[in-house]
Amino acid sequence: MPGTNSVLVVSKNQLNKINTWMFLLRGCAILILVSTFIPALNPAMVSGLIDKNSALFTMAVSYSSLVEGFTRAINRGWVNSSTVLNIYVSSLLTFLSVAAIVAGCCMTLGKLKLQRLGIKIIIIGCGAAIISLLLLFPAYYALCGSTNLNAVQPMISYSYLIFAIFLIICAILGIANIKLLPKPSENDKYEMEAKYKLFLMALPFVILCFLFSYLPLWGWRYAFFDYTPGLGLSWNNFVGLKWFEFLFKNAASRADIIRVMTNTLAMSGIGIATSFLPMAFAICLTEIRSVKLRKSIQVVTTIPNFISWVLVYSLAFAMFSTEGFVNTVLIKLGLEKTATNFLMSGSHIWLKMWLWGTWKGLGWSAIIYIAAISGIDQQLYEAATVDGAGRFKKIWHITIPGLMPTFYVLLLLSIAGILSNGMDQYYVFRNAANQNSIEVLDLYVYLLGLGSGGTGNIPLATVVGMLKSVISITLLMAANWFSKLLRGESII
């Protein structure tokens, strides 16, 4: 009988009710999933020796990082290694149960039979997660029996309770849902609509994107705390806007910021002021008649773009160090008496950095203009030739106007990115002699937060990075708005 399997007598009212409950169930499952990635909600935090920054997920995937914190305690005999294993196994099982809950949650997008199966899996997953959490108690009591309680700091945190409550709510919602849903008929199959299938296929990538692009935003909270690596964030060390004020009220850090901003703006500024060069390069290159020569030049000049800055530095080292090519030639020609190490000298560093950047990138940046030139309508040139235009007139009246849209877009993008000139180049060329004039914002943030063996000032570096991100995105929006105003096209 066609159609009978999908006919279910459900009133509209009841359908709405089911949808609401389903919505709550899914929301709860997602909350549970997210909280496994947040250290503050880690239910398995049963000892002060566990790194305060590890989420349940971290504890479940990395046994070694868990043991690391306990090394001393195990060696001294304060904690049994079996206790640590107990904590690990329990958090792993909890995480696996959460994975099952998530899988069940995905299944609830299917048709009735699949939906019911999904809810059953969610309920079972919640039960399993609660049992796995209970496994923490033996570990907790073992820790409480330790000979050095002060060092081991056994605890049951609020997060344990919160997590357990989440699970219980989720289980109750699951049971409620399964009661509400009509029983499937004999003919029902495990099916899912195409739109949900596609959605679920894309979901893992959305989650990856969330983990590496959105979740770091949560790290902005470090800007408001006095953070020392190893210790966690708590309301005890909440300092509000202290680091923001520190940045501008403290004379030394203000001087630093001014110096770094000057470097950043100067180097980006030189780059922007010379951003017409790739265009000129492309125009002149296309003026070379011999195709073979043109192609070879193009190949050769793009090579430097594909090597790393470390390699650029090692080439620079070979050419410009004391025993390098340039010094040898200069001495042989009698222009210099003693060799100078050009890389160690701190003078003209902005210009030198620009020259290296140009050496590396000019040929490559020209390619986009070469592509644009080949896209210009040939008939325009022919018409101009008929009208008696010479080569320079053709460049001035046809080629350059044809390239202007590309130029504008690139210019606006580089203005939007004025604060982001990267750190690779400046990091490799940095040394004692030039460090004051080479530190750009990105490099400064790195050195401030993670430099000198990881003993940096993480909150302050976060503040600087935050301000940079906010200014950058504002500039991008402004550039986009400007582009819309000017050319009626958005660039992002």
**Which positions from 347 through 366 interact with other proteins, judged by CB under 8 A?**
359, 362-363
Is 177 an interacting residue with respect to other proteins (CB under 8 A)? Answer: no
Is 335 an interacting residue with respect to other proteins (CB under 8 A)? Answer: no
Is 13 an interacting residue with respect to other proteins (CB under 8 A)? Answer: no
Task: Kindly determine how many residues on this chain lie close enough to bind other proteins according to the rule CB under 8 A.
Answer: 106
- The Cα-based distances of 207 to 36, 56, 91, 204 in angstroms read 13, 17, 21, 5
Scanning residues 375 to 404, which ones bind other proteins (CB under 8 A)?
379, 382, 385-386, 390-392
Query: Is 479 in contact with 416 (CB distance < 8 Å)?
Result: yes
For residues 145 and 229, which CB has a smaller minimum distance to other proteins in the complex? 229
Min separation Cβ 354 and other proteins, Å: 15
CB atoms within 10 A of CB 23: 11
For residues 25 and 464, which CB has a smaller minimum distance to other proteins in the complex? 464
Beta-bridge partners for 382: none
- The Cα-based distances of 142 to 81, 159, 160, 355, 457 in angstroms read 11, 20, 18, 64, 37
For residues 112 and 362, which CB has a smaller minimum distance to other proteins in the complex? 362
Contact pick of 270, 409, 411, 471 for other proteins (by CB under 8 A) = 409
Min separation Cβ 311 and other proteins, Å: 6
For residues 78 and 227, which CB has a smaller minimum distance to other proteins in the complex? 227
CB atoms within 10 A of CB 178: 17
Min separation Cβ 285 and other proteins, Å: 7
Scanning residues 194 to 213, which ones bind other proteins (CB under 8 A)?
194-199, 201-202, 205-206, 208-213
Is 224 an interacting residue with respect to other proteins (CB under 8 A)? Answer: no
Min separation Cβ 377 and other proteins, Å: 11
Is 488 an interacting residue with respect to other proteins (CB under 8 A)? Answer: no
For residues 194 and 291, which CB has a smaller minimum distance to other proteins in the complex? 194
3-state secondary structure of 225: strand
Scanning residues 49 to 88, which ones bind other proteins (CB under 8 A)?
53-55, 57-58, 61-62, 65
Scanning residues 425 to 464, which ones bind other proteins (CB under 8 A)?
427-428, 442, 445-446, 449-450, 454, 458, 461-462
Which residues does 85 contact at the CB level (< 8 Å), separation at least 6?
Answer: none
Min separation Cβ 403 and other proteins, Å: 11
Residues 20-49 as x/- pattern, contact with other proteins by CB under 8 A:
-----------------x-x----------
Min separation Cβ 142 and other proteins, Å: 25
Min separation Cβ 300 and other proteins, Å: 4
Residues 77 and 71: their CA atoms lie apart, in Å, by 10
Is 218 an interacting residue with respect to other proteins (CB under 8 A)? Answer: yes
- Which residue from 369, 368, 378 is spatially nearest to 400, judged by alpha carbons? 369
- CA Rg value for the chain: 32
- In order, the DSSP letters of 136-154 are HHHHHHHHHT-S-HHHH-B
For residues 57 and 140, which CB has a smaller minimum distance to other proteins in the complex? 57
For residues 77 and 219, which CB has a smaller minimum distance to other proteins in the complex? 219
Q: Which residue matches tokens 């009220």?
A: 249
Is 94 an interacting residue with respect to other proteins (CB under 8 A)? Answer: no
3-state secondary structure of 231: coil
| 69 alpha carbon, distance to own chain's centre | 27
Stretch that binds other proteins, among 19-27, 122-130, 162-170, 297-305 (CB under 8 A): 297-305
Residues 356 and 452: their CA atoms lie apart, in Å, by 27
End-to-end CA distance of the chain: 54
Which residues does 447 contact at the CB level (< 8 Å), separation at least 6?
Answer: 439, 456
Query: Is 364 in contact with 299 (CB distance < 8 Å)?
Result: no
Token digits of residue 387: 């009208």
Query: Is 66 in contact with 101 (CB distance < 8 Å)?
Result: no
